Amino acid sequence: MEILVEMKGIYKLFGGLCALNNVDFHVSPAEVIGLVGDNAAGKSTLMKILAGVHPPTEGDILVDSQKRIFRSPQDARNVGIEMLFQDLALVPELDVTDNLFLGKEMSKKVFGHDMKFILDRKTMDKKSEKFLRELEINIDSVKEKVKNLSGGQRQSVSIARTIFFNARLVILDEPTSAISVKETQRVLELILQLKKKGISVIIVSHRMEDIFNVADRIVVLRRGKKVEDIEKCNTTPELIIKKIIGVANNIC
Amino acid sequence: MNRYLTRLKLFYLNNSIIFILLGLSIVSGILSNKFFTLRNWMNILNNFSVPGIVSCGVALVLLAGGIDLSFGSILAVCAVFAAYLQPQSFILAITLPVLLGSFLGYINGLMISKIGANPLITTLGTQWGYFAVLMILTGGNLVQGNNKGPFNFIGNGKILNIPFPIFMYLAVGIITWFLSRRTLFGKYLYAHGSNKNALFCAGIKSSSIYLKTFVIMGLIVGIGGVVMSSRMIGVRPTEGSRYLINVLTAVILGGVSLNGGIGSILNVMVAVLVLGVIDNSMVLLGVAYKDQQIIRGGVFIISIIYNNYLMYRSEVFRRKCLALSDQ
């Protein structure tokens, strides 16, 4: 199976604290991975390294078998890796269209001349509507300010934006933790839509039911080390939980 | 029907200043029969053209999530500079003060956006700094131009019997509004005030946007200085502090959030008009000057309370709508 992204021998030290201890991690195209572990297991840290927020203390990241060094999230984005942060990197006071096009705005053409700084809101609105409809995201109006959307709708807009930005790998940090049951279902469906489009997804989550709903493979971190990396069909929630809390093996 | 009522309520919450203007105008009209005359309204707009221009610039900085208290000093510096240049060259007198204003704004912006200094304290400091330099250069004296030549037209000329400063104010206002609402820069400006982290995650240089905002404010204040200088025969270096309270009141009353990201230049312009109406009524009713100051102070405090109240009610309304839509 070809590999999209590979992390080899990742160590991360914060002062004297060893957050990640020789972690290997890989993702294939159109694969959904559930990354689980207890608090302070190192999940967020590993993902932040992958997304270019932190540099690893030691270890390599390979994208398409080529070694890469990420100095900022923009470097990661340039190779198609997008991470959705806690505040979803959305601007609450701007509307859905503005947020979808943030960084990739379309400018108005007056008499065939490109007025680079004037926004072409009409065209962007139409494209946003079409795009959201394709993804079956239910939002009444793209001119609604993002702050007026529910948590699930905001997640959906945030995820939709990554597709817009031609991401190849999307990292979701606890995407379903703060939203309602009905909306959780929609977000999970959206994740499967991403997979259908050939985009890989890493979900960091505490919720076993969500992980087992969408993931192809499950990776467990415990106290900075990888303790499990297994296909979903070869395991059960109970076994995973045991690995998370370290009952089955006494690794410290 | 429900949706129509919702949108109506939303419009009211976002633009209640218009209703305040209407209400105050009606009251003023009842209290004085001179109020609803063309001449009177020309007076109102003319007198508040300079604070109106300055308010547009200050509002931009607030929308971007910053604050700039040095606008009064920048205004005085530019006005004095314009008065000084006016006898020598018309072209220089209308361009150099604007450039100087931009430069002073740039200094503010450099410290705040690139070094990360606290905007409130920094601009409080530059307010004193710019004023101090001005006092040294002028010796505290009036700087007089002469009222000959085309420069005089800016402050005292009329087109179609409408004073020219009003055209300047409307032009600055509309251009500023267009910049903030219809351009890429304006979008990033609002985004910076609302969640500058989002700009970083989208790969946009937010400090650059922030810096440019301060420069633009300085430019706008510079324009105000040129207009102000032309309206008066001589400019005292202390002239800038006169506008402090009116500009700040107008921006806050105009619904601009002190945290950034919320507000509209058009509403600020309406708020300027409201203050103009209040000022005008006080004069028409013969209110003593010291009482006028007290009332201005009172209006300022009321504006802050009103601004907070608006934000609170908007938030309550937002949550209610969210809760309803979940059903």
The model's pTM is 0.88
**How far apart are the C-alpha atoms of A113 and B295, rounded to whole Å?**
52
Q: Examine the pLDDT at A252 and tell me if it is beyond 60.
A: no
d(CA B203, CA B201): 5
3-state secondary structure chain B: CHHHHHHHHHHHHHHHHHHHHHHHHHHHHHHCCCCCCHHHHHHHHHHCHHHHHHHHHHHHHHHCCCCCCCHHHHHHHHHHHHHHHCCCCHHHHHHHHHHHHHHHHHHHHHHHHHCCCCHHHHHHHHHHHHHHHHHHHHCCCCEECCCCCCHHHHHHCEECCEEHHHHHHHHHHHHHHHHHHHEHHHHHHHHHHHHHHHHHHCCCCHHHHHHHHHHHHHHHHHHHHHHHHHHCCEECHHHHHHHHHHHHHHHHHCCCCCCCCCCCHHHHHHHHHHHHHHHHHHHHCCCCHHHHHHHHHHHHHHHHHHHHHHHHHHHHHHHHHHHHHCC
Flag whether B256 is in a domain: yes
- Choose the weakest-confidence range: A159-173, B62-76, B175-189: A159-173
Q: Is B194 on the interface with A (CB under 8 A)?
A: yes
Mind listing the pLDDT tens digit for each residue in B199-252? Answer: 888 888 899 999 999 999 999 999 999 999 999 878 888 888 888 889 999 999
Q: Do A89 and B204 touch (CB under 8 A)?
A: no
Q: Which of A73, A92, A94 is opposite residue B201, by nearest beta carbon?
A: A73
For residue A119, give the chain B residue with the closest CA: B183
What's the pLDDT score for residue B253?
A: 94
A73 at the B interface (CB within 8 A)? Answer: yes
**Residue B254's domain spans which residues?**
50-325
Q: Where are the domains of chain A?
A: 5-245
Rounded Cα distance between A215 and A32, Å, is 5
Q: In chain A, what residues touch B204 (CB-CB under 8 Å)?
A: 102-103
Residues of B in contact with A148 (CB under 8 A): 318, 321-322
In a domain, B5, yes or no: no
Task: Give me the total of CB pairs closer than 8 Å, taking one residue from chain A and one from chain B.
Answer: 70
Architecture of A5-245 per CATH?
3-Layer(aba) Sandwich (3.40)
A147 touches chain B (CB under 8 A): yes
Summarised one tens digit per residue, pLDDT across range B244-299 is 889 999 999 999 999 999 999 999 999 999 999 999 999 988 889 889 989 999 99
Max mean pLDDT among A13-17, A159-163, B61-65 falls in B61-65
Q: Which residue among B203, B262, B321 places its CB closest to the CB of A74?
A: B203
Query: Which residues of chain B have a CB within 8 Å of the CB of A99?
Result: 198
Residues of B in contact with A96 (CB under 8 A): none
| Chain B contact set for A91 (CB, 8 A) | 190-191, 194-195, 198, 261
Judged by CB atoms closer than 8 Å, whether chains meet at B204 and A103 is answered as yes
Any chain B CB within 8 A of the CB of A180?
A: yes
Q: Is the Cβ pair A102, B326 closer than 8 Å?
A: no
Number of domains in chain B: 1
Q: Is B12 inside a domain boundary?
A: no
CB < 8 Å to B198, chain A = 87, 89-91, 99, 102
Interface with A, mutate which of B196, B201, B315, B325 (most A CBs under 10 A): B201
Nearest CB among B183, B262, B322 relative to A93 is that of B262
In a domain, B40, yes or no: no
Q: Looking at the domain assignment, is residue B3 inside a domain?
A: no
Q: How confident is the model at residue A215 (pLDDT cuts 50, 70, 90)?
A: very high
* Cβ contact, residue pair B202, A107, below 8 Å: no
C-alpha distance from B318 to closest chain A C-alpha (Å): 6
User: Closest residue of B to A145, CA-based?
Assistant: B318
More confident residue, A103 or B109: B109
Mean pLDDT of A49-53: 90
Chain A residues closer than 8 Å to B182 by CB: 118-119
Examine residue B213 and state whether it is found in any structural domain, yes or no.
Answer: yes
B190 inside 8 A of chain A by CB: yes
B139-189 confidence digits (pLDDT tens): 888 888 777 788 888 888 899 989 999 999 999 999 999 999 999 999 999
Mutation target among A93, A120, A139, A150 for the B interface, most CBs of B within 10 A: A93
Q: Do B184 and A77 touch (CB under 8 A)?
A: no
